[in-house]
Amino acid sequence: MKLAIKLAFRNLIGAGLRTWLNVIVLSFSFVIIIWLKGVMSGWDQQAKTDMTNWEIGGGQYWHESYDPYDPFTFSDSHSPIPGEFTGEIEKGDMEPYLIAQGTIYPQGRIQSIMIKGINPNQSIFMLPAHKLDTSMTDAIPSIIGSLMAKNLKAGIGDRVTIQWRDNQGTFDAAEILITDIFTVSVPAVDQGQVYIPLDRLQSMMGLEGEATILTYRNSESPVVDVPGWTHKPKEILTAQVDEMIKMKTTGQSVLYAVLLLLAMLAIFDTQVLSIFRRQKEIGTYVALGYTRRQVVGLFTVEGAMYAVFAALLSAAYGLPFLAWQAKAGWTMPVDASDFGMAIAQTLYPVYSAGLVVSTVLLVLLVTTVVSYWPSRRIAKMNPTEALRGKIQ
Amino acid sequence: MENSQIIRIENLVKRFPMGKGEFTALNGIKLSLGQGEFAGLIGPSGSGKTTLLNIIGSLDVPSEGSVTVLGRSIGALSTGEAARLRKENLGFIFQSYNLFAVHTVYENIEFPLLLLKYPATERKRMVTDALEWVGLTDKIKSKPPQLSGGECQRVAIARAMVKKPSLVLADEPTANLDAANSHNILKTMVNLNRELKTSFLFATHDDKVISYLRRKIFLLDGRVDNDIIISN
């Protein structure tokens, strides 16, 4: 094996440009596969972090009737905040949300919204809730996301009418004053959402002391079994992101496969050509004391060595590139806010040692198999004809 | 110089499939070669010279009869045993040199020693010696495409001789060389035969080679037609 490695090294270095062309193609595959996987991993991490910071905290308790996909459940999805949580809420480690369905009338248009009542002093979410802590009598202070503001064509200081139904089923309307517009990569926090102070919404709805969702800060908090409320751990709440990433990863896998296929095609092509072109050399190896199986081994090691060279070349230019990308991020050329999913405009790839090692091993393994495949022909060659360079 | 037998051939027959039938390339060869001989298989194209050389070199096997090289029966050797015989005891010189084009002269000559797992320092000494035998010490870093035909064949000789094999098999070694280079090469081989006591067996129909042989084995239609030993 040691000798095969030494000879393969000499043969590849001696082959010059032919070797380096293959190595360059293969190294592109290395870098792009690692980069794409890093982007996916970074996206996954970013989506979960943003969801945690903006929407789900360390986990939630949902009112048993609440179904985020069915707005008709919202009118029944509320009940008094359970006494078991009073201590945590007072310490600021749990925040109640009240959710009501409503309608907004921006500049004569009509749009369905979700009105969310949130404590202006909360510190679990990154929402600028403190902007709701404004004393005013003629309008309800509210904050909205930048996408929502774009849809409404509204800015800070604008007043817009909203309508809702209270717990008795009576329609009521009031003006809201937009006190802040925030930017977030989690669409569920932005699109169609209007945030107002919790006590105002409770009062508007006639639901004093009631809530729809209770969000706690620490994901390791002990789970309390409270009748009428369903515990939703963080893993369940981020499962959708996991599913989405999994789906995207499947799509990306096709791209990896195409990249690998192109690189492998180059290796396979080189191997097939080598076996035809190097007949005399193969015969000479046998004449000098190699068995045909050892020659197959030598050619296979040569092929696998392309992957080793490619890994080294990738390290030379790929590591600085990947490190720069991890720092500077990859800004998408189109507006990511229109994607309808939790994706930031700039994604920061995250690479793990496992990702790099597994990619290198995968490419090495596939290259070895692809090199071995055509090399098996050598085992069937007649050495006397190979010595004369006769095509077999 | 010649004493113990290194090649013994009894009733060798070699047939190759041809169309629906068979072609007999060698037919009842009986021959022996002693250590230190400088002999040649002489005959026109198709007389069976290369086929016989290939069988002696364990690159091919007899259809019938027995071929014993250095005490080992060629027909009975496994692939691994045959490879070991070639690696340890035989040297090959080919008409078209068969050098590794991407390796340097040094690496080409070093190759048989790598197979034999000689330590690096010894390899270096042996390659240097071989380069001196063939007068190519100044071409150590050159690659075969940078050398003339004569130089290439001298590298091939050095590669065949570097491990000091018991037997060197040379198939038409001067066929691609001009007269001056041919004589140069042949003189080198004669010297090595004398100094290292290595046996040489040529396959040739080149008069220049024939003039250097001390034993001339004439083949015709796959049979030994004549076997002449030239006395000193």
Compute the mean pLDDT over every residue in chain A, rounded to the nearest whole number.
87
The rounded distance, in Å, linking the Cα atoms of B221 and A315 is 63
Residue in this structure with the two tokens 């084009």, named with its chain if needed: B101
For residues B54 and A134, which has the higher predicted lDDT (pLDDT)? B54
Q: B80 CB near a chain A CB, below 8 Å? A: yes
Has residue B201 got a pLDDT over 70?
yes
The rounded distance, in Å, linking the Cα atoms of A338 and A352 is 30
Which tens digits make up the pLDDT trace of A293-350? 899 999 999 989 998 999 999 999 999 999 999 888 888 766 655 555 556 667 888 8
- Which of A280, A290, A291 comes nearest B98 by C-beta? A280
Q: A18 CB near a chain B CB, below 8 Å? A: no
The rounded distance, in Å, linking the Cα atoms of B101 and B111 is 13
User: And the tokens for A88?
Assistant: 């945590």
Contact yes or no for B184/B31 (Cβ under 8 A): no
E strand residue ranges, A136-228: 140-145, 159-165, 171-182, 193-197, 210-211, 213-216
Q: What is the pLDDT of residue A354?
A: 86
Compute the mean pLDDT over every residue in chain B, rounded to the nearest whole number.
91
Chosen for mutation from A281, A288, A305, A384 (greatest number of chain B CBs closer than 10 Å) is A288
Contact yes or no for A264/A367 (Cβ under 8 A): yes
User: And the tokens for A390?
Assistant: 């006769």
The rounded distance, in Å, linking the Cα atoms of B156 and B131 is 11
Q: What is the pLDDT of residue B3?
A: 54
Q: What is the pLDDT of residue B1?
A: 43
Tell me the β-bridge partners of A165: A171
Give the mean pLDDT of A271-276: 82
Q: Which fold has domain B36-54+79-217+225-229?
A: Rossmann fold (3.40.50)
The rounded distance, in Å, linking the Cα atoms of A244 and A354 is 22
For residues B232 and B159, which has the higher predicted lDDT (pLDDT)? B159
User: B92 vs A291: CB contact, 8 Å cut-off?
Assistant: no
Q: What is the C-alpha R_g of chain B?
A: 17
Q: What is the pLDDT of residue A392?
A: 63
Has residue B120 got a pLDDT over 70?
yes
Query: pLDDT category, A137, cuts 50, 70, 90?
Result: low
The rounded distance, in Å, linking the Cα atoms of B199 and B193 is 6
Enumerate long-range contacts of B178-182, CB under 8 Å, 24 or more apart: B178/B149, B178/B150, B179/B208, B180/B150, B181/B148, B181/B149, B181/B150, B181/B153, B182/B206, B182/B208, B182/B209
Which tens digits make up the pLDDT trace of A26-55? 888 889 888 888 888 888 888 888 888 998
Enter the ipTM.
0.90
User: B102 vs A292: CB contact, 8 Å cut-off?
Assistant: no
User: A288 vs B103: CB contact, 8 Å cut-off?
Assistant: no
| Identity of residue B16 | F
Q: What is the pLDDT of residue B144?
A: 93
Strand order through the sheet with B223-229: B90-93, B167-171, B199-204, B38-42, B215-220, B223-229
Task: Note if the pTM is more than 0.80.
Answer: no
E strand residue ranges, A31-90: 59-63, 79-80
The rounded distance, in Å, linking the Cα atoms of B62 and B57 is 12
Has residue B108 got a pLDDT over 90?
yes
Q: What is the pLDDT of residue B89?
A: 93
Has residue A233 got a pLDDT over 60?
yes
Instruction: Give the distance from CA A365 to its chain's centroid.
Output: 27
User: In sequence order, what are the residues at sequence separation of 6 or more whose Cβ sits closer than 8 angstroms to the Cβ of residue B76?
Assistant: none
Q: B37 CB near a chain A CB, below 8 Å? A: no
Q: What is the pLDDT of residue A288?
A: 92
- The length of chain A, given as a count of residues: 392
Query: pLDDT category, B2, cuts 50, 70, 90?
Result: very low
Query: pLDDT category, A263, cuts 50, 70, 90?
Result: confident
Chosen for mutation from B89, B92, B98 (greatest number of chain A CBs closer than 10 Å) is B98
Q: What share of chain B is helix, strand, coil (3-state, %, to 5)?
A: 40, 30, 30
The rounded distance, in Å, linking the Cα atoms of B10 and B31 is 7
The rounded distance, in Å, linking the Cα atoms of B77 and A336 is 71
